[in-house]
Structure 1
Amino acid sequence: MTTAKTRIRIGSAPDSWGVWFPDDPRQVPWRRFLDEVAGAGYRWIELGPYGYLPTDPARLTEETAVRELRVSAGTVFTGLHHGPAVWEKTWAHVSDVAALAQAVGARHLVVIPSFWRDDKTGAILEDSTLTAAQWRDLARQTERLAREVRDHYGLRVVVHPHADTHIDSEENVARFLHATDSDLVSLCLDTGHYAYCGGDSVKLIETYGERIGYLHLKQVDPEVLAQVRSAGTPFGPAVAQGVMCEPPHGVPALEPVLAAAQSLDVELFAIVEQDMYPCDPDKPLPIAERTRAFLRSCGA
């Protein structure tokens, strides 16, 4: 009989290797990422930024299969609070990622809201607070996206609350959940981002368990977090300052998070993501190995 614990599938992602962009000279080459993530003991990965890994399904399938890796999800950034006016541009990008994810056997599409300030420069791109009309557009367009992704590609949309976006705090996450159809829209709970924005992951899982469709496992350094929040530092520079840290040295504690997720008794991916762009290319692998060992000690 399958137990709850065995229904948590642990993976990692290009993000844990310092990869934020399709092509950047400061990032590790994609073959090295695949070699090292497999060598560290992970069997599931995400696509990362579209274009980092091969976008030809046959080639990507071959490259992952030879390393005994499988793909859990693709990722897209969207500005759906802007309403129907951005639909065509959004769908053009989403359909590329979703088609690749479907072709290589993934079942999820992680949707991240667009940033209200530039994650490198800190330049204000728009108001950090949505109007009532923008909240309605965000909810309706996310439902539309989830429906289209499901109907065309058979993928489940999981929306990722994220620092420096409009879906960030406990209040805004709850508002988003209450505004969207639970049959269409689930959450990708990123434990690090939620803590970064003041949220309690265990409480969220216990309160909205039926909406948790996917996990990103991440921790923040509370001392660095206090500094960057006090200074109003944008997310990108905060990462460069080490706000995201190696488990189990930060918050939230991952053992209670995994226990709460296991109590849901549903299949969940739990993908390790430690933001550290940019980083020395030799830094990620030892961290990934230690993190995998730590998660095994937590029963995952």
Structure 2
Amino acid sequence: MTEAVRGVPQGPPRSGRLTHIKVGSAPDSWGVWFPQDPVQVPWRRFLDEVAGSGYEWIELGPYGYLPSDPALLGRELAARGLRVSAGTVFTALHHGGASAWERTWAHVSQVATHAQAVGAGHLVMIPAFWRDDRTGEPLEGATLTAGQWRTLAAQTERLSRQVHEEFGLRVVVHPHADTHIDTEENVVRLLHATDPDLVHLCLDTGHYAYCGGDSVKLIERYGERIGYLHLKQVDPALLARVRERDLPFGPAVGLGVMCEPPAGEPAWEPVLEAAQALGRRRGVELFAIVEQDMYPCPPEKPLPIARRTRSFLRSCGA
């Protein structure tokens, strides 16, 4: 029987109704933000617990957290019945110049090589933060100039093309709080400035709500540009405090602004239904990877949340 979950409709789960959605989780849901950090759970514990929560698909998380030896990681994944959906890269593609591109490509190609070797099909690209995510210290301007937007668009197309040609992976751009690709206005601006055959989105429902966006509306209007989902919820009361105090993202997460579903926003059911309709129309299965930012967190906290969240997803038909 499905574990009873507070706030989740009870009775037999409607498993399999969302036939075009493949759900998974990620190290982020275990409080993992960095390749190495003494407050984070060891990687084997993460793999044990994510498998024990009922997930089959995972992301790699920050490069270097999970073993960078594909053979070792492959054995560890196979032993737990896990598969990899994506790797993650961090870029500052609005910075022009050959040296900036070379630094970016060195990082991206390293992660892409590893992701390809362990069977991933996607590379989630997170833009650079414009302010420090712990201290709030500005690292550069919060808005881009027209020239920087042109550079960002051109370099995003270049990166997507090159990653696909060399590694067979699909780059999906992740709109993210405290970056230049955050609000609906900026997300749509990027979409309009780039080739729809090259540039696609990883729609993170929590980050998009954090920045004032409507995920269902984005799926319905720009579905052909959405290639991947991160499932996340925001606590609206805490978000109001974050906005009032203009907190950077790191301290906001420390307050618990990204909360356990189904307590926050947006509601996942309409997002999943819109994604299901999109997947059916396009004839594809979309990954929907659960992420609940909660860095740092006690090591015993993630597993019960992961189990409850997986049960909630089953009640939604996933």
> TM-score, normalising length from structure 2?
0.93
Q: CA deviation at 1:295?
A: 0.5
Aligned residues: 298
1:119 corresponding residue in structure 2: 133
Question: 2:180 & 2:264 partners in 1: Cα distance?
Answer: 24
1:30 aligns with 2:43: yes
1:278 aligns with 2:296: yes
Residues 17 and 317 in structure 2, CA contact (< 8 A), matched pair in contact too: no
1:68 corresponding residue in structure 2: 81
1:185 aligns with 2:203: no
1:40 aligns with 2:58: no
Residues 84 and 141 in structure 1, CA contact (< 8 A), matched pair in contact too: no
Question: 1:45 & 1:84 partners in 2: Cα distance?
Answer: 34
Question: 2:43 & 2:105 partners in 1: Cα distance?
Answer: 26
Question: 1:41 & 1:179 partners in 2: Cα distance?
Answer: 40
Q: CA deviation at 1:84?
A: 3.2
2:184 pairs, out of 170, 185, 205, with: 170
1:232 corresponding residue in structure 2: 246
1:144 aligns with 2:158: yes
2:62 pairs, out of 41, 45, 49, with: 49
Residues 191 and 218 in structure 1, CA contact (< 8 A), matched pair in contact too: yes
1:211 aligns with 2:254: no
Question: 1:100 & 1:51 partners in 2: Cα distance?
Answer: 10
1:81 corresponding residue in structure 2: 94
Question: 1:88 & 1:274 partners in 2: Cα distance?
Answer: 32
1:291 corresponding residue in structure 2: 309
2:234 corresponding residue in structure 1: 220
1:199 aligns with 2:213: yes
Describe the SS at the equivalent of 2:108: helix
Question: 1:212 & 1:84 partners in 2: Cα distance?
Answer: 29
RMSD between aligned residues: 0.8
Q: CA deviation at 1:4?
A: 7.7
Q: CA deviation at 1:17?
A: 0.0
Question: 1:76 & 1:168 partners in 2: Cα distance?
Answer: 17
Describe the SS at the equivalent of 1:28: coil
Residues 4 and 263 in structure 1, CA contact (< 8 A), matched pair in contact too: no
How much identity, in percent, do the aligned residues show?
A: 78
Question: 1:251 & 1:11 partners in 2: Cα distance?
Answer: 19
Question: 1:105 & 1:82 partners in 2: Cα distance?
Answer: 31
Question: 2:317 & 2:201 partners in 1: Cα distance?
Answer: 23
Task: Note the alpha carbon deviations across 1:205-262, whole angstroms, 9 max, x for none.
Answer: 0000001100000000000000001100000000000000000000000000000000
- Point out where structure 2 has 5 or more consecutive residues left out of the alignment: 1-15
Q: CA deviation at 1:12?
A: 0.1
Q: In the alignment, residue 29 of structure 2 is paired with which amino acid?
A: S
2:12 corresponding residue in structure 1: none
Describe the SS at the equivalent of 2:95: helix
Residues 186 and 212 in structure 1, CA contact (< 8 A), matched pair in contact too: yes
Q: 1:108 to 1:90 in 2, by over 3 A?
A: same
- Point out where structure 1 has 5 or more consecutive residues left out of the alignment: none
Larger RCO (alpha carbons 8 Å, 6+ apart)? 2
1:16 pairs, out of 19, 26, 29, with: 29
2:111 corresponding residue in structure 1: 97
Question: 1:263 & 1:61 partners in 2: Cα distance?
Answer: 33
Question: 1:193 & 1:104 partners in 2: Cα distance?
Answer: 27
1:254 aligns with 2:272: no
> TM-score, normalising length from structure 1?
0.98
